[in-house]
Structure 1
């Protein structure tokens, strides 16, 4: 049985899309020397330098191991072998579901964004009062 090589760039794209993050936004999170085109090229690479992979994982707020180990073919095999004839199988497995964790992180990111917007509005109101006072 041949070993299947994980395509790390494609996995970055999958996680980025699942999190609803655009290439421009990820580029901005990675720093000034990044842009949408550079993210696009990164997502085409089969293997990515481990230090860069750590940076991208941190920007996406997911473990680097998720990018390194996600194998779509294995996921499809598990799903197709688990569900057949419209039968649902329920496992009582106490492990953490990575998709649930990603959703939780995404919700936390939204809450942080909302707090930042509220603080911005409050700061703008204070600045307007200072301007009017002069």
Structure 2
């Protein structure tokens, strides 16, 4: 297939990178503050606005250029090279050694976010009870 006939379907590229990172649509949706259906719609879109693309790239841990230029061939070549190098007996870098963030910081961020969401949920329930009590008093 020539490069002229290849589709530059950004949604499919996002889907493949998400799958390669073993991430479900729900996890991506939660990280972006969207619904799973929104992620499904994004992955079915041929184009995505740049602001959304930047957010998605951050969550997936790749650059915007990596999203735009992703191809199955490059992934296959990467893994073939990875296998070839390990077959020669060379020591490969552990993927965890290239982390650009502290996992404990991410865990704390997730905990704080969950705490905020829980507080919002509790407040919403309090508001609902207050509203229902008001309706009962009015009757």
Matched, 1:6 2:8: yes
Q: How many residues align?
A: 103
Alignment RMSD, CA only?
A: 3.8
Partner of 2:47: 47
Higher Cα Rg, which structure? 2
5+ unaligned residues in a row in structure 1: which ranges? 83-87, 91-99, 118-134
TM-score normalized by structure 2?
A: 0.52
Q: CA contact under 8 A between 1:6 and 1:70: conserved in structure 2?
A: no
Task: Supply the distance in 1 between the matched residues of 2:106 and 2:55 (Cα, whole angstroms).
Answer: 21
Any unmatched runs of 5+ in structure 2? 87-94, 112-139
Q: How does the TM-score come out when normalised to structure 1?
A: 0.54
Name the structure 2 match of 1:66: 66
Partner of 1:95: none
Secondary structure of 2:7's match? coil
* Cα offset, 1:57, TM superposition: 0.5
Name the structure, 1 or 2, with higher relative contact order (CA <8 Å, separation 6+): 1
Alignment of 1:1-134 (within 5 A): 2-3=2-3, 4-31=6-33, 34-73=34-73, 104=99, 112=105
Aligned to 1:120: none
